């Protein structure tokens, strides 16, 4: 299969999920990366709205001309093109386990910490850009929910497993790592709790042993709420 246009902003969370996945399974040759400049709003042009009406990244244009967005959907499509991988799952049981952990960490940790971030330090930036979604009252309860989720995950990891799906590195680990590192690195009140030793060790294992994206390697992506920043708009597209 020829390389497909992949609209991305490398170094931002959801695009990084796809980049990290592609490196892990060895299918980067399928991606013809088209970098967008979020600071200049190139994801909000009439041409890009034809690719993704939401104006969000990442987006992949298929050989049929149809475009798909959402990092997990794109990763699954790529996985099909290479005949499947252990990262998504080689059997129905493994694929179900991967999906289970994607949903678990999204529900208990990633969605709460993202919501707390958007309704906390970035509330003024987002209140007019995402009408109906931004409410300052959500900051504290969502941050508390995220902390509770991290405590829960720390307990799950205390059984000695290497990754979320045991010894098998999965798409659930990729997504959790990319998003968790972004939010905890850019919101001091949600910084990783060193007391959660099993969670800290799990993050360290991923960092040490995988092919990591620019964001994942740095752990401290610059995220100041300035209109001219290339990273300022990213949290609206998670």
Which of residues 34, 58, 81 is at a domain's end? Answer: 81
Q: What tokens appear for 116 in the block?
A: 């707390």
Instruction: Verify that 40 and 112 share a domain, yes or no.
Output: no
Instruction: Verify that 62 and 107 share a domain, yes or no.
Output: no
Q: Which residues, other chains included, contact 17 with Cβ-Cβ below 8 Å and sequence gap of 6+? A: 71, 72, 75, 174, 175, 178, 179
Any domain includes 204:
yes
Query: How far is it, in rounded angstroms, from Cα 32 to Cα 171?
Result: 21
Contact of 182 with 215, CB cutoff 8 Å: yes
Helical residues (DSSP H) of 82-218, grouped into ranges: 92-105, 111-118, 123-126, 139-156, 171-186, 197-209, 214-218
Side-chain-side CA neighbours of residue 126 (13 Å): 22
Q: What range does the domain containing 99 cover?
A: 92-237
How does the average pLDDT of the chain come out, rounded? 88
Phi, psi angles (nearest 5°) of residue 143: -65, -40
Instruction: Verify that 188 and 233 share a domain, yes or no.
Output: yes
pLDDT at 15 over 90: yes
Which of residues 81, 108, 142 is at a domain's end? Answer: 81
- Which is more confidently placed, 217 or 152? 152
pLDDT in tens, 24-45: 999 999 999 999 998 888 998 9
Query: How far is it, in rounded angstroms, from Cα 79 to Cα 84?
Result: 5
Any domain includes 72:
yes
Any domain includes 87:
no
CATH of the domain at 145: 1.20.1050.10
pLDDT in tens, 103-146: 999 999 999 999 999 899 878 877 776 788 899 999 999 999 99
pTM for the model stands at 0.88
Instruction: Verify that 53 and 134 share a domain, yes or no.
Output: no
Reported as a pLDDT band with limits 50, 70 and 90, residue 225 is: very low
Q: How much of the chain exceeds pLDDT 70, in percent?
A: 87
Instruction: Verify that 115 and 208 share a domain, yes or no.
Output: yes
pLDDT at 23 over 70: yes
Any domain includes 100:
yes
Any domain includes 86:
no
CATH of the domain at 45: 3.40.30.10
pLDDT at 11 over 90: no
Q: How many domains does the chain have?
A: 2
Contact of 9 with 15, CB cutoff 8 Å: yes
pLDDT in tens, 179-222: 999 999 988 899 999 999 999 999 999 999 865 544 444 333 33
Cα angle value 229/234/238 (rounded, 5°): 175
């Amino acid at each position: 299969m020829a390389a497909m246009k992949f609209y991305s902003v490398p170094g931002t969370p959801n695009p990084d999920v796809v980049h990290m996945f592609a490196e892990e399974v060895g299918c980067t040759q399928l991606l013809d990366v088209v970098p967008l400049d979020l600071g200049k709003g190139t994801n909000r042009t009439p041409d890009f709205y034809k690719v993704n009406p939401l104006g969000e990244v990442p987006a992949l244009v298929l050989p049929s001309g149809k475009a798909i967005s959402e990092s997990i959907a794109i990763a699954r499509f790529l996985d099909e093109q290479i005949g499947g991988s252990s990262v998504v799952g080689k059997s129905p049981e493994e694929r179900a386990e991967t999906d289970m952990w994607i949903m678990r960490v999204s529900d208990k940790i990633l969605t709460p910490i993202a919501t707390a971030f958007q309704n906390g330090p970035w509330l003024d930036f987002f209140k007019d850009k995402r009408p109906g979604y931004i409410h300052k009252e959500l900051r504290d309860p969502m941050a508390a929910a995220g902390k509770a989720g991290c405590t829960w995950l720390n307990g799950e990891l205390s059984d000695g497993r290497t990754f979320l799906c045991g010894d098998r590195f999965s798409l659930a680990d990729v997504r959790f790592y990319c998003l968790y590192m972004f939010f905890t690195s850019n919101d001091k009140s949600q910084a990783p709790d060193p007391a959660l030793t099993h969670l800290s060790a799990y993050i360290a294992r991923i960092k040490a042993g995988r092919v990591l994206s620019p964001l994942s390697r740095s752990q401290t992506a610059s995220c100041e709420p300035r209109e001219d920043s290339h990273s300022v708009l990213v949290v609206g597209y998670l």
